[in-house]
Amino acid sequence: MSVRIAPEPVVVDELITETAGRLFGELCTHEAVQAAEDSGGAPDIWEAFCETGFDLIAVPEEAGGSGGTLAEAIEVLRLVGYHSAPIPAAENGILGGWLLAQAGLERPDGLVTVVPPRAADGGWSGGETCSVSLNGDGTAVLSGDAHRVPWARSAETVVCVCGFDGTSTVVSVPASECTITPLPNMAGEPRDTVSFDGATGRAAPAPHGVDADALAQRGALSRVALMAGAIEKMCQLTVSYTNERVQFGRPVARFQAVQQHLVWAAQDAALVRMAAEVAAREATRGDAPFEIAAAKLVANQAAARATKACHQAHGAMGMTQEYPLHHFSRRLWSWRKEYGSDAHWSAVLGQMATGVGADGLYPLITSGTAALA
């Protein structure tokens, strides 16, 4: 009988990995991903994704979702990243779907997206450029502009959260009431501007633990999962390409200088996947502020190193649109900046690390959030 108790294992059903992997493998060809970028969406891929129920994975069944754990949703997102599937899987499911379910708001038909919280403006997910006023009758009026809202142009519903823990409110606004100005991120994914212009939405109080900070953490976790998939695929492309590309009479992968890039990229792929899986495991069990912050910072830094290594190993071929490396590298550069930059998460982690003090520093590394209590 041990004194310290290990938590219950978190297991991801292999069928999820298999099904999502097969679906994206068939649909997310280089051409399809490019076409989605050119047209601003991939309704056919989204429809096929919805048919599997993965669009609402980890949203409780009683709230109209597909059920399943957060860890399983994160595994699906890892595969979205691995195949650069051009769909708002995170926004519709574990972010927007989660907020609606938590607040008990009805889930309208069609795609749901979320206004990402601005790190500097705790309490209101729309940032300082827009505001909300609650009417007290279950409705709210929004004004101003929300920026970098993923796939807003295709969404039926825009969700945001305002106020602080315990007193925060989730607001759900029909996209038809807003003016949407398309804007791409560096990978050509829609990150649109939503002008509310007095749009009226439905509002409901959020339970304890659901606020802009919690959304920021879930959003960061979603990006880590996407990044883990993208880095892994980028590495595999690089190993294949350097084995096929012959210069000086042999595959360039035989050169030590090129091997260095392969090894460094493989390390970062392993590091980010580990970070994503451990953070997802802990977030499935409960609050995981340390693991999520650490995972996003590690992923951000790894994305910088791995994209550099993989591009260098590809030479000029990686700089062309005809070769798929850019689907992954440009997404990584974009996702690195979403839901928290390096500076943001370093500061958050710095508060935790200095807070536990010298004697608590190693226990923080081994036990994570549990060591903060």
Q: Give the residues lining the site for another protein (CB under 8 A).
A: 2-7, 239, 243, 253, 256, 259-260, 262-263, 266-267, 270-271, 273-275, 277-278, 281, 290-291, 293-295, 297-298, 301, 343, 345-354, 357-359, 361-362, 364-366, 368
Nearer to another protein, 151 or 241 (CB): 241
**Residue 357 Cβ, how far from another protein at the closest point, in Å?**
6
Count other C-beta atoms under 10 Å from residue 39's C-beta.
11
SS3 of 74-136: the string is HHHHHHHHHCCCCCCHHHHHHHHHHHHHHHCCCCCCCCEEECCCCCCCCCECCHHHEEEEECC
Helix axes 325-337, 30-39, angle to 10 degrees: 50
Nearer to another protein, 36 or 79 (CB): 79
Nearest to 221 by CA among 111, 98, 49, 38: 98
**Residue 262 Cβ, how far from another protein at the closest point, in Å?**
5
DSSP annotation of 6 reads P
**Residue 109 Cβ, how far from another protein at the closest point, in Å?**
37
**Residue 359 Cβ, how far from another protein at the closest point, in Å?**
6
**Residue 228 Cβ, how far from another protein at the closest point, in Å?**
12
Nearer to another protein, 180 or 276 (CB): 276
Nearer to another protein, 199 or 288 (CB): 288
Exposure letters 354-368 (e unless 16+ CB within 10 A, then b): eebeeebeeebeeeb
**Residue 177 Cβ, how far from another protein at the closest point, in Å?**
41
Sole residue written with tokens 């994206």: 24
CA angle at 152 for the pair 146 and 287, rounded to the nearest 5°: 70
DSSP annotation of 60 reads -
Exposure letters 112-147 (e unless 16+ CB within 10 A, then b): bbbbbbbbeeeebbbbeebebeeeeeeebbbebbbb
Give the contacts of 35 (CB within 8 A, at least 6 positions apart). 42
Nearer to another protein, 99 or 348 (CB): 348
**Residue 43 Cβ, how far from another protein at the closest point, in Å?**
35
Nearer to another protein, 175 or 258 (CB): 258
Nearer to another protein, 267 or 312 (CB): 267
